[in-house]
Amino acid sequence: MARGLIIPFRIETMAFAANPLFSSISTLPLSVRTIPFLYHLPLRCSSSFTTQETIDMTKYHQAFSRRMTLAGLKPHHRIAMGVSGGPDSMALCVLSAHWKTNGLSTNRDSDGFIDGLLAIIIDHSLRAESKKEANIVSSRVSTMGIRCEIVHCEWSDGRPKQGHLQEAARDMRYQHFQKVCIQNQISALLTAHHMDDQAELFVLRLSRHSSVLGLAGMSFISQIFSSYTHSSDAKDYGILLVRPLLDFSKEDMYKICQGGQQTWVEDPTNQSILYARNRIRMSLRDCSSYGFNSELQAVISACQQTRLYVDNVCSNLMNKAVTVTDFGYAVIDLEILNPSKVEDICLSKFIALILQFISQRNRPIRGSTSKLLLDYMRTFPCRTSLTAAGCYICPAPASRGTKALVCCSVDCPLPQTVEFLDALSYTDHQHHTANDIEQIIADSKSHFNRLVPDASEVHFLDTTSESVLSKARRLEMLSESTYKNIMLLQREEVKHFRSKKKVTPESESKDKVKSISMYSEPLFHGKICSFMNRFFVAWKLNEEIPVSAISGEADSHDYTGGGTLCCHCNSCVFGNDMVPEVRHMCESDWLYLADLLKCPTSENSQLKDTSSTNSTSTCLNHARVSAQRALLILKSIPAAARRGLPVLVNDQGLLLSIPVLFLVLSHFSPQRHRALASNTVLA
């Protein structure tokens, strides 16, 4: 079944607050762009400002409530929070607890905690003191009536290297956030990112020459998806990642903690100039003034308006012009898309979203690659093929160039994308989030659809990242002094970035990987393979071949049902020590199926009529019928897309099964067992 809406729900780095496409992740899964919390050095405690002042909490509670409504969230929804114990996350606890308790008539569970509110505390286990510190934070949050769950990280490959520690800690953190949410049937995760974080991110991305869409910063709502989410239902919404404090400043965080009479911890690593965000934060503090801050936020807001408009255009185009198949490839109807009528920035984002989903890579598509793809999409009808960003693009068969096929390119040099998990762990990951998530998304969409600007109201549609500040100055968003200060911040950070960008020979060789078409991984019994983050592949041993698997015509697709006539043939495939391998389909598999088609039927067999030969004849019939069915289905799949399908092979590389077709073949061996592909679904 075609699932044309699946792309925006699967791209893990897009968001729908400023992004109605409700995307995610993903990069590879769990690659949501967030500002990392720093846990790896001792924390210092603080209680409040040195001078006490009366804090009007009403305005903060009202503003928080409005943001939650905008996200489609209501007090009865089950919600989790990422809590580090710092002023930001403690302020989030104060506001969330008040919002929950004032919105529910029965707001306490049987243990006395606020119903449906969970604080997740991550102990990264990178220091001896981290476990104790996590317990201290848990104790403080629990006194607020918030249930806590502490997660202790395990680094199976050892402690991350210093240069990658923050990124590795962030990835680990979000993996655990998501796992806890799934286990507790929680649909939404709140984080405490705020306005000052957005300003830091703007300067950081400006120094890295990000696009206008990147300069828009963190989105109000994103979606993240687990690598192991398994559902045959297309309506898999993952977890909503909501940032309700983006309209609050850092000063507000301290005031909210003071007004809520809560203590917090300060991380001394926030003072280290080794980290880019810290350097930018200190520089912003030096030039901070009401005028500077408000003008900078005005530019960020204009970038967000641009992103909101672009994402709305992309969402509409995807709904109309894109079909995603269960076999892992997409078809773009170029006539409906009408690329000549779409702005460059919108078309670039549109094709980037599709390619990121199909390739399952969370890498941004920039520079010459982006221009190459843009030129390809504007050539109508399309006549040539193109390999870019991990995908192969070509005219769809029989379309005469009016449709473009996009599939994963197995010849691209990519890191290995085969992961394994235990069947028990896999079962645990199948718990879905609460059923209200679909309504939450619908409610949030209805709010934001009213906020989508017209093209005439969007300032940066035709603006590169290098010219954003210049245009903002011409539009009088920025004063001359603010413009010069931001440019100075950018130049300083570019200087730091270039000085650290030198790559050692070791790191260069470490990044070299072979083509993914060359990968072949063993799949042990009891394990489930997450293949290219799309397919779940497993197998089990069965001594019996049901009659439904060996009878019927080739057009009969339901051959997995029960039957009484079974074969216990010594020539059936494998013994208990069999370990098949999983890899991409290749041309030799197609030829092997054609050879199997030549297997003699039982009627034409010259074998003597004995019990043993009857069993062998049964296997021959099964192999022939299975191959016939496989070829019939595979002919409907474009040749380029077939190469992205996973197959199971034996130690000689011969085809055993094509799991996505629910197809099992018999191969002759002295043992009496055969391999069965389990229910294998496109993720």
Instruction: Say what the pLDDT of residue 119 is.
Output: 97
Whether 535 contacts 683, CB under 8 Å: yes
Rounded distance between C-alpha atoms, residue 355 and residue 329, angstroms: 10
Walking along the chain (683 residues) 10 residues at a time, the average pLDDT comes out as: 33 31 31 30 44 83 96 94 96 97 79 93 86 92 96 85 77 90 92 96 92 93 66 58 96 95 81 80 88 95 95 94 89 95 94 89 83 93 91 93 90 52 48 67 88 91 87 95 94 82 46 47 72 70 52 39 34 57 84 80 51 60 80 86 84 80 47 30 27
State the CB neighbour count (10 A cutoff) for residue 650: 17
Instruction: Say what the pLDDT of residue 547 is.
Output: 47
Strand duo 117-123 + 147-152: pairing: parallel
Rounded distance between C-alpha atoms, residue 561 and residue 327, angstroms: 23
How many alpha carbons lie under 13 Å from residue 630 in its C-beta half-sphere?
A: 30
The angle formed by the CA atoms of residues 520, 526 and 530, to the nearest 5 degrees, is 45
Instruction: Say what the pLDDT of residue 573 is.
Output: 45
DSSP secondary structure letters along 435-479: TTHHHHHHHHHHHHHTTPPPGGG-S-TT--GGGHHHHHHHTTSS-
Whether 682 contacts 671, CB under 8 Å: no
Rounded distance between C-alpha atoms, residue 387 and residue 407, angstroms: 10
The distance of Cα 538 from the centroid of its chain, to the nearest Å, equals 22
Long-range contacts, 462-465 (Cβ 8 Å, 24+): 462/343, 462/344, 462/345, 463/212, 464/211, 464/212, 465/205, 465/206, 465/209, 465/210, 465/211, 465/212, 465/214, 465/215
Amino acid at 493: E
647 phi and psi, to 5 degrees?
-135, 155
Rounded distance between C-alpha atoms, residue 496 and residue 502, angstroms: 11
Instruction: Say what the pLDDT of residue 453 is.
Output: 92
Q: What is the pTM for the complete model shown?
A: 0.78
Indicate the Cα dihedral angle 19, 100, 33, 486, nearest 10°: 80
Q: Both ends of the chain: CA-CA distance in Å?
A: 13
Strand duo 403-408 + 391-395: pairing: antiparallel
Instruction: Say what the pLDDT of residue 663 is.
Output: 56
> Which residues does 205 contact at the CB level (< 8 Å), separation at least 6?
214, 215, 217, 465
Q: Where are the alpha helices (DSSP H) in 534-610?
A: 587-596
The pair of three-digit structure tokens given for residue 9, joined into one six-digit string: 């729900």
The angle formed by the CA atoms of residues 79, 81 and 83, to the nearest 5 degrees, is 160
Rounded distance between C-alpha atoms, residue 615 and residue 545, angstroms: 10
Instruction: Name the helix (H) or strand (E) containing 487.
Output: helix 480-499
Q: For the chain, give me the number of helices (H) and strands (E)?
A: 21, 23
